[in-house]
Structure 1
Amino acid sequence: MSPAVANGRPTVLLVEDEPAQREILAYNLEAGGINVVQAGDGEEALMLVAEGMPDLILLDWMLPNVSGIEVCRQIKSRTATRAVPIIMLSARTEEVDMVRGLDTGADDYMTKPYSLAELMARVQAQLRRSRPAAVGSRLEYEDIVLDGETHRVTRGGTAIKLGPTEFRLLSTFMEKPGRVLSREQLLDRVWGRDIHVDSRTVDVHVGRLRKALGQGGEGDPIRTVRGAGYALG
């Protein structure tokens, strides 16, 4: 299924083969300000992860074709995707099953039936670790401060005026300082995969962000990596 437009919000890949359960979870996640991408089996989940990394995966253990455990194992065994947090959902309540799920790489494990309120709290906790700006946290890099709740940015104590796209771009960089992000990854994170935007648009907005951050004469904190993309620092 096609992923939702990002709009700076975190994206959760929901992998659940029961349509009714998937619909309830998707509704609650979206009501909580989260974009939801849905998969009904393990093969589809792996395909969607390959197309673009979500910020978190809610993964049912019992899935057709490829089990949740195997999906988790494959995602966590790959360098490009191992950092994506996974919350495993399972009707298996035995301690040995929970240990197996966590040993496979799951970051959290919830048994069915579970409290939706508790699940949402755990989702938000994982997102605070993986995408802090998307859930209203304060980010700092050298003399740059980004407040995700008030949508304000300062550099050296001076307010920086940014448009919505430049704000999302900066927050994406500040969540992973030093990490090189390709134009395609930035398009996915900042614009969303449903939006058809030329990759050169990224260059234009990076240029605007650089200009805004350097308006006080400070150095350019964004590094261009030829043939690869951009990085903060």
Structure 2
Amino acid sequence: MHLLIIEDNADIIANLYSYLEPLGYKLDVARSGKAGVLAATTSAHDAIVLDLSLPAMDGIEVCRQLRQQYQLTMPILMLTARDTEQDKVTGFAAGADDYLVKPYSLAELDARLKALVRRARNEHVQSVLVFGELQLDAGIGRISRAGQTLDLTPTGYCILSALMRVAPKLITREALERQVWGDEPPDSDALRTHIHTLRRVLDKPFSYPVLLTLPGIGYRLMLCNEERNEGPQ
């Protein structure tokens, strides 16, 4: 799991690194609200751990900007020493998904982060995904379009599954690579090649395409009545 920590306390950062890295987390750190907004909007992460008390721009404003201005949907877990009901209401209203009061258990933090990411990915919740003519039944590993079964490669299955979980929203190239290959993706042309192969099966036999490439940004699925302005693969 790729995690962004927005925290200015060096001791807390050190504790998070010492506990989470051995569990397999990849961690990025921003030590101010402004730096946190920049990191969250320029790199892909599975979740954000956000301290409420930050210099210059506090966690509430960071959270509000990420949700309202940048429309980011990744899970945000807020850390704070404030434990009143109104503080929690304010945090949730700004867009936080969960709330831990200091001092907190690192084991509980780990469990909550994993639950948030599972929920964001619809894992263990939705075994059948449907978007327009597409249907993915994870229980039996079957994907179909307009009732016609599609024969995808294992990588193509992973790519389409990731796209369907967020459809009709886009998924960035970096986030898609991480979901398919983890934190060690292959060379830069690998995803392009797999997208091309997926498109041959997913779109070519049908009257209109559903897989859209947004050049320099990422990919998304679309419905038949949308305008198409597709760039190069």
TM-score (norm 1): 0.71
Q: Hey, what's the Cα distance between the residues in 2 that align with 1:195 and 1:143?
A: 27
Distance 1:97 1:45, change over 3 A: same
Q: Hey, what's the Cα distance between the residues in 2 that align with 1:11 and 1:118?
A: 18
Q: Hey, what's the Cα distance between the residues in 1 that align with 2:196 and 2:153?
A: 12
**Structure 1 position 170, deviation (Å):** 2.4
| 1:222–1:230 CA contact under 8 A, matched in 2 | no
In the alignment, is residue 95 of structure 1 matched against residue 85 of structure 2?
A: yes
Count of matched residue pairs: 215
**Structure 1 position 32, deviation (Å):** 4.4
Deviation per CA, 1:93-134, whole angstroms, max 9, x where unpaired? 22232222222222221111112232222212211221235x
In the alignment, is residue 223 of structure 1 matched against residue 211 of structure 2?
A: yes
Matches within 5 A, 1:1-233: 10-81=1-72, 83-133=73-123, 138=127, 140-141=129-130, 142-146=134-138, 153-155=141-143, 162-163=153-154, 165-181=155-171, 183=173, 186-187=176-177, 190=180, 197-198=187-188, 201-211=190-200, 222-224=210-212, 230-233=219-222
Distance 1:97 1:136, change over 3 A: closer
**Structure 1 position 173, deviation (Å):** 0.5
| 1:14–1:26 CA contact under 8 A, matched in 2 | no
Structure 2: runs of 5 or more not aligned: 223-233
Q: Hey, what's the Cα distance between the residues in 2 that align with 1:120 and 1:182?
A: 25
TM-score (norm 2): 0.71
Deviates more, 1:136-145 or 1:36-45: 136-145
Identical-residue share of aligned pairs (%): 33
Structure 1: runs of 5 or more not aligned: 1-9
Q: Hey, what's the Cα distance between the residues in 2 that align with 1:120 and 1:137?
A: 23
Distance 1:61 1:183, change over 3 A: closer
| 2:41–2:70 CA contact under 8 A, matched in 1 | no
